[in-house]
Amino acid sequence: VDLIERAARDIINSRNAIALTGAGISVESGIEAFRGSQGLWAKYDPEEYATIQAFIDNPEKVWNMFREVLETIINAKPNPAHYSLAELENMGYLKRVITQNVDGLHQEAGNKNVIEFHGNNRELVCLRCNSRYSMNSFNWMEVIPRCKCTSILKPAVVFFGEPIPWDALTTAQSDARKCDLIMVIGTSAVVSPAREMPVIAKQNGAKVIEINIEETSLTYTTSDYIIKGSSGIVLPGIVNKIKEIQ
Ligand SMILES: [Zn+2]
């Protein structure tokens, strides 16, 4: 059976499909997965740079790492995988994208219903007084942004040791219970709470379609099937097949 066609038919027959995405979907946009051998965490020890305590102890040091990350992310553009998910939402097939990425590329591609588990790179927050600012209102490449209360601002991404935003988590859990199909794209879903989403969906009777380069811990436990390949090729293939069938 052609798995692209199988996925296309499953999506057409679904009433409430959602997608869970991870770093793999943005690799073709030039953003290396943080955990890979070329990833950020190979260069910067996350214990030293990406925990909330590291930021509290030495925000200047963390900001130097962050500038490098933000520069890559800000110059990145959506790839065909992002545009395919936006198209599926426009066609009425995709109700939500739940992403572990902080790059904002789903929204840039045109998706409206996006949950960001790990925050975003568009805002800055003050840990002292909870004020929020737009990233654009600071020249953060030159000067470390400070709040009106003088505290150094933190990017609105979720650091290790920080909780997942509560509304993101509860909405995603509700989506996972209600959906009848979930696509797991570009993620091995080993990090909670992302890993719970396909499991909750499966327990509630949803189909789980995995789109990954390699098999993951979900493949033989949770996924109905895996389409092996890069999401930038597989997803446009599925969208084209849907257009052909419907
Ligand atoms: Zn403040």
Over residues 103-127, mean pLDDT: 95
* Bond into 163 cis (ω within 30): no
What is the CA(131)–ligand 1 centre distance, in A?
A: 6
What is the CA(45)–ligand 1 centre distance, in A?
A: 28
Between CA 240 and CA 128 the distance in angstroms is 50
In this structure, are residues 128 and 149 in contact, taking their beta carbons and an 8 Å threshold? yes
The overall pTM is greater than 0.75:
yes
User: Exposed (0-12), middle (13-18) or buried (19+): which is 243, by Cβ within 10 Å?
Assistant: exposed
Element (H, E) at 154: strand 154-157
What is the CA(214)–ligand 1 centre distance, in A?
A: 44
What is the CA(127)–ligand 1 centre distance, in A?
A: 7
Between CA 207 and CA 223 the distance in angstroms is 8
What is the CA(15)–ligand 1 centre distance, in A?
A: 44
Is the pLDDT assigned to residue 38 strictly greater than 90?
no
In this structure, are residues 114 and 82 in contact, taking their beta carbons and an 8 Å threshold? no
Between CA 23 and CA 77 the distance in angstroms is 14
Query: pLDDT > 90: what percent of the chain?
Result: 80
Using DSSP, state whether 45 is helix, strand or coil: coil
Quote the mean pLDDT of the chain.
Answer: 93
What is the CA(144)–ligand 1 centre distance, in A?
A: 14
pLDDT of residue 48: 85
What is the CA(139)–ligand 1 centre distance, in A?
A: 18
pLDDT of residue 176: 98
Is the pLDDT assigned to residue 43 strictly greater than 90?
no
- Sign of the CA dihedral running 129, 132, 137, 143: positive
Query: pLDDT > 70: what percent of the chain?
Result: 98
Between CA 173 and CA 158 the distance in angstroms is 18
Active-site annotation holder among 82, 95, 106, 118:
118
Please identify every residue whose CB atom is under 5 Å from ligand 1, which is an ion: 126, 128-129, 131, 147, 149, 151
Residue 118 annotated in active site: yes
Q: What single DSSP character describes residue 159?
A: P
Is the pLDDT assigned to residue 228 strictly greater than 70?
yes
Q: Which residue has the tokens 């890979």?
A: 36
